[in-house]
Amino acid sequence: MKSMDSLLIRAAFKLPVERTPIWIMRQAGRYLPEYLAVREKAGSFLDLCMNPDLAAEVSIQPLDLMEVDAVIMFSDILTPLIGMGVDLDFNPGPDIKNPVQSVRDIEKLLIPDPSESTAYVGKILRLIRKAVAGRAPVIGFAGAPFTLACYLLENSNLKPFTKLTTLFFDDPDTAHLLMRKLTRMTIDYLNYQIENGAQMVQIFDTWAGLFNPADFETHIFPYVSEIISSLDKKGEVPVVYYINGSNHLLDSMSRTGADVIGLDWKTDIGEAQRLIGERVSLQGNLNPNILFCRPEVISRKAEEIIRSYHGETGHIFNLGHGIDKSVDPQHLLHLVRTVKQLTTRNG
């Protein structure tokens, strides 16, 4: 199967599909007992990320167990920072021992060769492609510069973002220096993933909703657009751009060059479609907490989203943010089957 044949890639490019594809952010993770068993075997979370055989195994688990339409490689948005000289750990949230505190710290950050610093990622992607053998497309991903900067500056203690805000508004030149380095790293990293088999890539900008539209345009948009326009295989490997809390930024997001905009659950997908649906496909956007509800409720809430989106292609079903670690896997399976059933078109 060529990736263009898959529902996911066709929906991303608004080509005809027989039904709406579905995958789930954080689909490889702690809600699955099978994931926990492999993680136990690997040791720490980072050990698992850097063990290509085991990371490929947990990436593929949701395809077999949850019947989703895509495999996202198992990793984290922060792991490529290690190659820049960042001392990173997870407990289980990110823990950076040497956060960026000065211009000197930014100058010291390295621009790594991804085939050296993240060779394990290339290997994971190749292993997944081989094992999946065309049954589903493989998604790669990276954190966007702004969201990486959030973690780099304030560690896992993210609130109240005082350091980040003062850097961007008191000292925009220094912020620019940091964003430039993170942009350069991310371009090389995503192109390395594409070279090694990623058939779609998602850029996670979880925290970019912190800024208002004007500040987003000045401080975030140029870097994200540069990343997207610098990717190899544009028009063949679709790009998804995701922000959590993005209702006020949809118009800007749709002009970054991304093929697909990932919506959080607070946005009405029908309204988003009226606003930006001509330009881009949409991904999302069930409230992740709905997966704790009864199966009938899950079906009803999924149906509301499916009915709000008009048109026969251009929608990729997903949650509005990652799946919670306490969700019953049977509830996710119910969602996946419901979406497939509700969106299958006859003939």
Binding site for ligand CP3 (CB under 6 A): 25-30, 39, 45, 72, 74-78, 90, 92-94, 141, 204, 206, 244, 322, 325
Span between the terminal Cα atoms of the chain, in Å: 21
Residue among 152 and 277 whose Cβ is closer to ligand CP3: 152
Residue among 91 and 102 whose Cβ is closer to ligand CP3: 91
Residue among 39 and 129 whose Cβ is closer to ligand CP3: 39
Q: Which residue has the tokens 């998804």?
A: 240
- Residue 129 beta carbon to ligand CP3: minimum distance, rounded to whole angstroms: 16
Residue among 14 and 39 whose Cβ is closer to ligand CP3: 39
- Residue 238 beta carbon to ligand CP3: minimum distance, rounded to whole angstroms: 16
- Residue 209 beta carbon to ligand CP3: minimum distance, rounded to whole angstroms: 11
Distance CA 71, CA 230 (A): 24
- Residue 242 beta carbon to ligand CP3: minimum distance, rounded to whole angstroms: 7
Q: Which residue is nearest to ligand CP3 (CB)?
A: 206
- Residue 26 beta carbon to ligand CP3: minimum distance, rounded to whole angstroms: 4
Q: Three-class SS of residue 155?
A: coil
Q: Is the dihedral of CA 98, 99, 105, 107 positive or negative?
A: positive
Distances (CA, A) of 303 to 21, 35, 77, 225, 296: 14, 29, 31, 33, 11
Q: Phi-psi bin for 233: left (phi > 0), alpha (psi -120 to 50), beta?
A: left
Residue among 26 and 337 whose Cβ is closer to ligand CP3: 26
- Other C-beta atoms closer than 10 Å to the C-beta of 274 total 11
* Residues whose CB falls within 8 Å of the CB of residue 128, separated by 6 or more in sequence, listed in order: 56, 59, 60, 71, 73, 138, 197
Residue 285 and residue 306 in contact, taking contact as beta carbons nearer than 8 Å: no
- Residue 55 beta carbon to ligand CP3: minimum distance, rounded to whole angstroms: 9
Residue among 45 and 120 whose Cβ is closer to ligand CP3: 45
Reduced 3-state DSSP string for 86-103: CCEEECCCEEECCCCCCH
Cα angle value 320/250/194 (rounded, 5°) = 70
- Residue 22 beta carbon to ligand CP3: minimum distance, rounded to whole angstroms: 14
Q: Phi-psi bin for 194: left (phi > 0), alpha (psi -120 to 50), beta?
A: alpha
Cα 332 to its chain centre, rounded Å, is 18
Residue among 245 and 295 whose Cβ is closer to ligand CP3: 245
- Residue 90 beta carbon to ligand CP3: minimum distance, rounded to whole angstroms: 5
Residue among 14 and 249 whose Cβ is closer to ligand CP3: 249
Residue 320 and residue 24 in contact, taking contact as beta carbons nearer than 8 Å: no
Residue among 96 and 228 whose Cβ is closer to ligand CP3: 96
Distance CA 22, CA 90 (A): 29
- Residue 143 beta carbon to ligand CP3: minimum distance, rounded to whole angstroms: 6
